[in-house]
Amino acid sequence: MRLSTVILPIHRWSEGQKVWRRAEELGFHAAYTYDHLSWRSFREETWFGAVPTLTAAACATERIRLGTLVTSPNFRHPVTLAKDLITLDDVSGGRLTLGIGAGGAGFDATALGQEAWSPKERADRFAEFLPLLDELLTHDATTREGAYYSAVEVRNIPGCAQSPRVPFYVAATGPRGLRLAAEYGQGWVTYGDAKGPADVPAEQAPGVIARQIEKLAAACAAKGRDVGGLEKVLLQGSTLEKPLQSLGAFVDWAGTYRELGITELVVHWPVPDSIFANDLAVFEEIATEGLAQLG
């Protein structure tokens, strides 16, 4: 099992670079950031762009993997996103992971002037977005016409630093998304019950994840793929569980999800006076000792 962190893009770089470097010093496997234009309670606060932040982080670090958690079609297009990803993978020396999902109904959903898409519309678009992005990242030249996204004689040379492309970690809980994860994903991402993770009692949260993994396994089997070949990533912070309150609480929580088959846990870097407020000293203790306590 690996332990990673999410660093929100809320810091001016004079301070932000210290956080990303500290994440590397603490030994986190990866440091991700949210790819939003604004997000929930942080909407009226400082919030920077994900791709420039990750590019700066790539220059400020040497070993830690970097990524989005997650990018979506809400305000992205496969053609321009592919060019950004190829560049970022090069700058980072092949340390990029793309967390990607169908998007949601938050502030990003209408930022470009469109009506918010229904769940079916989001799924339809994602089913076209992801295969096109895959093709763009694995071919020097791409032409494809779709109902929502097209590419006309698009060139992507020299391609990704990683082969055959940057890893896709697909966030999905529904059947169509899970099929896409099984077909295109090197990893799968969940944060709990998509209908309302904070409404699920803490003791029932592991059962939700267990059932999702069963559905993922079925989707993989339908594609002739072993679910064991996918990284299974749990993003902490949306459920009623409180694993960052103490080292012991984290060890119990991590052990539960390791038994279920989760291979990577992602915890939020503490943000004072927010829903991610946690004791930084405890957080750093968890980072350095938490997984070792699992035995």
How confident is residue 209, by pLDDT bands cut at 50, 70 and 90? very high
Question: Residue 261 has what pLDDT?
Answer: 98
Structure letter (DSSP) for residue 203: G
Kindly report whether the peptide bond that precedes residue 206 is cis, defined as omega within 30 degrees of 0. no
- Mean pLDDT value across residues 46-66: 98
CB 73 within 8 A of CB 110: no
- Asked if pLDDT for residue 156 goes beyond 90, the answer is yes
Instruction: Using the structure block, give the residue that is written with the tokens 């470009």.
Output: 112
Question: Residue 288 has what pLDDT?
Answer: 97
| Separation of alpha carbons 242 and 239, rounded Å | 8
Radius of gyration of the chain (CA): 18
How confident is residue 293, by pLDDT bands cut at 50, 70 and 90? very high
Question: Residue 98 has what pLDDT?
Answer: 98
Question: Could you read off the pLDDT of 124-152 as tens digits, one per residue?
Answer: 999 999 999 999 999 999 999 999 999 99
How confident is residue 259, by pLDDT bands cut at 50, 70 and 90? very high
Average predicted confidence (pLDDT) for the chain: 97
- Mean pLDDT value across residues 10-23: 98
How confident is residue 295, by pLDDT bands cut at 50, 70 and 90? confident
- Mean pLDDT value across residues 224-238: 97
Question: Could you read off the pLDDT of 72-93 as tens digits, one per residue?
Answer: 999 999 999 999 999 999 999 9
